[in-house]
Copies of this chain bind each other. A is one copy, B any other.
Amino acid sequence: MKHAPLVDQLIHAFTCLPGVGPRSAQRMAYALLDRGREQGRRLGDALHAAMDGVQHCQRCRNYAEAELCPICESPKRDSSLICIVATPADVLAFEQSGEYLGQYFVLMGELSPLDGIGPRELGLDVLEQRLQGGEIRELILATGTTVEGEATAHYVLDIAQDAGVQVTRIAQGVPMGGDLEFVDGATLAQALKARRPFGS
């Protein structure tokens, strides 16, 4: 004897989410059934709407509901300046800083040959064509500092140099407003190596 079949189906469906095992899935199903049916229906609607309505921007690969995302469509953004990031969350972080007025290219991952993620999966063939096209002036690398992030950064550097496009990388160093004692050794070593003249 188990739960009512619809309850079991719901619990099973929840386990497709990252970080959700059978126990949390059961807790989620109970919570919605016991005191959140309306929220449950809303989540169901949101899932269908997003699964069917969200595509990737043809230009920058970020999530979009039309062929182009709002950033790629905006005439206010400098389309000759492209920042390379791994995920849509990174775009959000840059946008929240309010400092960046160029456009993005969202890899939706990082190079990881063992997982079958090569340049094509990240759209790097498309980026290469755009670089060859000559309308890009500067490429800013903002991929992560993991092994995969570094490998991806070097691959992009190669194709940009082939196309004669300038490549920069966002500065690595100590975070603003933080106490030095909480900064890890690798970051501190990098901050020391990349020190710059002060007072100039």
Oligomeric state, in copies:
2
Question: Is B13 a contact partner of A65 (Cβ separation < 8 A)?
Answer: no
CB distance from A46 to the nearest CB of B (A): 4
Q: Would you call A6 an interface residue if the criterion is a C-beta within 8 Å of the partner chain's C-beta atoms?
A: yes
Which residues of chain B have C-beta atoms less than 8 A from A19's C-beta? 24, 27-28
Q: Are B40 and A4 in contact (CB under 8 A)?
A: no
Residue of B nearest to A48 (CB): B44
User: What bracket does the count of chain A residues touching chain B fall in?
Assistant: 35 or more
Chain B residues lying within 8 Å of A87, measured Cβ to Cβ, are 30
- Chain B residues whose CB sits within 8 angstroms of the CB of A41 once the complex forms: 47-48, 51-52
* Other contacts beyond A3-B88, A4-B69, A9-B46: 10, CB < 8 A: A5-B65, A6-B49, A16-B39, A16-B40, A30-B87, A30-B88, A30-B89, A33-B54, A43-B47, A47-B47
